[in-house]
Amino acid sequence: MSFLNTDYAKCLAASERVSWSLTTVVPADAQLDFSRPFMPEPMFLSNRLEDLTANEKLKLNQIFGRAYGYLFYFVEAYIVSATMEHARAELYGDEIALRALLRFTEEEVKHQQLFLRFGEIFDRDFGTECGLTDSPQAVASYILSKSPMAVLLVTLHLEIITQAHYVDAMKDNGEVEPLFASLFKHHWLEEAQHAKLDVLELEKLRESATPGQRALAVQEYIEILQAFAGLLGRQAALDVESLERASGRTFDPTLRSQIQHSQTRSYYRAFLWYGLTNSLFLEYLADRFPSLLAQTSSLASQFGEGGL
Amino acid sequence: MAAHALAQQPSPVANLNSLTETTLTRLKRALGPQKGEAMAALIFSKMGLNQISSPQDLCDFANHLIQHGGVAEAVGRSLKVMALLRSAIDRPVPVR
């Protein structure tokens, strides 16, 4: 499969075929099973911490799951704004492209509502409060201050990781909490089209861009990833506090540091490393942004397991 | 008069680049073939251009269109977003 063999009509048809409603995926009486982990084992690196009990690891896994869903809500705030602009640019133009982009936007708003509902159910039944990074608007403003090509590269990166996480770690995983897995299955079904639309929009911008504008997009993509890493590190620190509240235990500074470190690694791996090592993303960069491809290996090392 | 002004310049229709073609197609679709062409001619005349060669030209063209209000303004706002996505800079309509 290549992202380069697609068009707006195919994306639109696929979007209509896989479409789902919020109330079907998260019914009003939906409940989460807190006896199960939320995050799949390969994505939850804190499972290796020897000084946490099995119950504390389960709680931390669920806290990670809560933040994981929230972070997608968080980033979709800027994606909605960006895709609205791309749709608006097609007004009176290609109607198939306009429909595909409007569906893209509508689906992203639906995903935001999906993750908000998940958060409400989680917060209702988990028992203690989970700390979450604030100011999605400020993050959206930062990202949208960058060039549209850089924004699209980051969006493509994020759409790809949602697919990679589901296909590599959640699909057919009998361990993971079923409603949580279902949310991400439905998320993945629509994100598959979004990644292709990102590529189609990138192609439009790339065509008329100067070499300097392409170089700027690459530089700004990396800047956004670095800023995102800072946000993920702050979320990891909040997870430690959330675990203390959930377990009723105050950790000594050494263990606090270990938990924060392993949570930071888990977030980096999930949100940054997964994209920077994804074969479809690398294939696309090789074709269209070779100067970025040349930097993905060192960035992946920075954000991979051994990178902290 | 607008169509006449266009006829006196090198024709933008003769060898359309893609930005010019996109702009003319949208104007004709939104305003009708004759009014769309006349509007394009009027704005090209004001800009002293016969085609849209860059995202910056497109942005300037869009800002002229926006001043006309109505459907022309709607087309102009869409074209302006298209130009800004391609890194054009929004600036006051240049007077030549």
Q: Nearest to residue A103, comparing CAs of A191, A22, A230? A: A191
pLDDT tens per residue across span A211-266:
999 999 999 999 999 999 999 999 999 999 999 999 999 999 999 999 999 999 99
How many angstroms away from the CA of B48 is the closest CA of chain A? 22
Backbone angles phi, psi at B57, to 5 degrees: -60, -40
**Nearest to B42, CA basis, from B78, B88, B9, B81:** B9
| B4, pLDDT greater than 50 | no
Q: Is A304 or B58 the better-scoring residue by pLDDT?
A: B58
pLDDT of A131 above 90: yes
Q: Once rounded to an integer, what is the mean pLDDT over residues A22-36? A: 95
| Mean pLDDT, range B21-35, rounded to an integer | 96
Answer yes or no: is pLDDT of B29 > 60.
yes
Tokens 């992946």 sit on residue: A300
Contacts of A301 (CB under 8 A, 6+ apart): A307
What's the token pair of residue A82?
């960006």
CATH number of A49-303: 1.10.620.20
Most A CBs within 10 Å, among B80, B82, B84, B89, to test the A interface:
B82
Which residue, chain included where needed, has tokens 């933008």? B12
Q: How far is B20 from chain A (nearest CA, A)?
A: 13
Give per-residue pLDDT as tens, B34-63.
999 999 999 999 999 999 999 999 999 999
Please answer whether residues A235 and A133 qualify as being in contact, where contact means their C-beta atoms are separated by less than 8 angstroms. Answer: yes
User: Which residues on B lie below 8 Å from A90 (Cβ)?
Assistant: 78
Chain B, nearest residue to A148 by Cα: B85
Q: Which ipTM value was assigned to this complex?
A: 0.82
| CB contact at 8 A, A123 and A130 | yes
Angle value at C-alpha A195, between A193 and A197, nearest 5 degrees: 70
- The answer to whether the Cβ–Cβ distance between B85 and A209 falls below 8 Å is no
CB B50 within 8 A of CB B11: yes
The Cα-based distances of A158 to A55, A125, A218, A265 in angstroms read 31, 29, 16, 17
Cβ-Cβ contacts under 8 Å, B87 against chain A:
147-148, 209, 213
What pLDDT is stored for residue B6 in this prediction?
A: 41
- What pLDDT digit, counting tens, does each position of A271-303 carry? 999 999 999 999 999 999 999 999 999 999 999
Distance (Å, rounded) from C-alpha A45 to C-alpha A251? 18
Percent of chain A with pLDDT over 70: 98
Work out the pLDDT band at A5, boundaries 50, 70, 90.
confident
The residue ranges of every structural domain in chain A are 49-303
Q: Which of B25, B26, B81 sits opposite A88 (nearest CB)?
A: B81
Residue B16: pLDDT band with limits 50, 70, 90: low
What is the average pLDDT value for chain B, to the nearest integer?
Answer: 85
User: Does B3 have pLDDT greater than 50?
Assistant: no
How far off is chain A from B82, nearest CA to CA, in Å? Answer: 5
B23: left (phi over 0), alpha (psi -120 to 50) or beta: alpha
Between chain A and chain B, the number of residue pairs with CB atoms below 8 A apart is 43
Query: Vertex A76, ends A75 and A80: CA angle to 5°?
Result: 135
Element (H, E) at A117: helix A95-126
Residues of chain B with a CB closer than 8 angstroms to some CB in chain A: 19, 22, 25-26, 29-30, 54-55, 74-75, 77-79, 81-82, 84-87
Q: Tell me if B85 and A90 make a contact (CB, 8 A cut-off).
A: no
- Please tell me which residue of chain A has the smallest CA distance to B54: A208
If you average pLDDT over residues B6-26, what whole number do you get?
Answer: 68
Question: How many other CB atoms are there within 10 angstroms of residue A210's CB atom?
Answer: 10
Q: pLDDT tens for residues A94-103?
A: 999 999 999 9
Over residues A7-27, the mean pLDDT reads 96
- pLDDT tens for residues A143-184? 999 999 999 999 999 999 999 999 999 999 999 999 999 999
Residue B9's pLDDT is: 42
